[in-house]
Every structure is written in C-alpha cells, then in structure tokens.
Amino acid sequence: MIQLDDLDRAILKLLKQDARLTISELAERLNRPESTIHFRIKKLIEKGVIDRYTIILGEPLKPKSVVAVYIETEIPVIEDFLEKYINHITKTLSMLPNVLAVAKSGRNGIMALIGGGETEEQIEKFVDDTIRTLPSLRRVEVFPFTSIVKGKDVIGFLVDV
C-alpha cells in the first residue's frame, strides 16, 4: 500500500476540486513553501497516485436522462462461445457515443450506463432497438436514474464530445 500523509491528501483534494490551481496558489492555501508543493506533486505523479489531468464537461453536453442497463446472456453448452459473445456485446455497446460506460459482470452479465435525449422514452427505444434485439439474452433490466446523489459529476466526466 502507498503511504500518503495529510499534506498529500490535502493537495489531492484541492486538485480534484480544481486542477488549474497553480503551485503558488496551493502553497498559499496549504501554508507550505512552493518548493514543498512542487516536490509533492512531482512525487504523486511519479508514483502514479495522480494518473492524469482532465476536464469535466458541463450541462450543455450532458445527456438529459441516464439509465443503467443490466444484460445477462444465456449460458451456452459450449462455454468457449460465451466469452466471445460477451466480448462482442461489450465492444459493440462501447462504440456507441450515448453508451457512457460498460462493465462485464460475472461470467455472463454486462452493466452499461446509457445517456439519452430529453426523455427516458428515447433511452427505452434505444434499449429496445439495440439491446433487446440481441440473441440469446436471458435478462435485460433497465434502472432509470432519477437523480445522482453522490458522484454527480460522473456524467460530465464520461460524456463523449
């Protein structure tokens, strides 16, 4: 396990809120010399604690509604086929711009986060046309997101441009 002290954590917290903060702004806020802040950030990047810097996109680009969809395939007699079929579905879904995230779940499940236009009906139509038409599915369940309570920014993080 990596050892982080209070100063490391304070720097990470501030950069998570606003990664444009300069070394001198961080130094002032945390009441430490600039050289210390500079050294710590360098180390945090070297150790891979900070993976990279990015932007979060705002309201104008965010889908108006979001659902999680769980997909479960049947388990074929020849199991070798299963992995290839799961890979095929995840790859196909991943290529679609309104599919924000895709994860494999267990041996024969897939969880996808899907964004849509103004209404949930549009996502429902997408699910009907794109997902429910896939062969050999045992289960498709849609979980519409009414509101995001923790991790609100995740949609602006995931959305494609």
Contacts with its own copies by CB under 8 A lie at 1-2, 4, 9, 12-13, 15-20, 47-61, 66, 68, 70, 90-91, 93-94, 99-107, 109, 111, 113, 143-151, 153-154, 156-158, 161
Q: Which H or E element spans position 8? A: helix 6-17
> What b-and-e string marks burial along 14-29, b requiring 16 or more CB atoms within 10 Å of the CB?
bbeeeeebeeeebbee
The residue among 77 and 95 lying less far from its own copies, judged by its C-beta, is 95
Shortest Å, Cβ 126 to its own copies = 16
Shortest Å, Cβ 61 to its own copies = 6
Shortest Å, Cβ 3 to its own copies = 10
| CA separation for the pair 126, 140 (Å, rounded) | 13
Distances (CA, A) of 133 to 69, 121, 125: 14, 17, 11
The residue among 27 and 145 lying less far from its own copies, judged by its C-beta, is 145
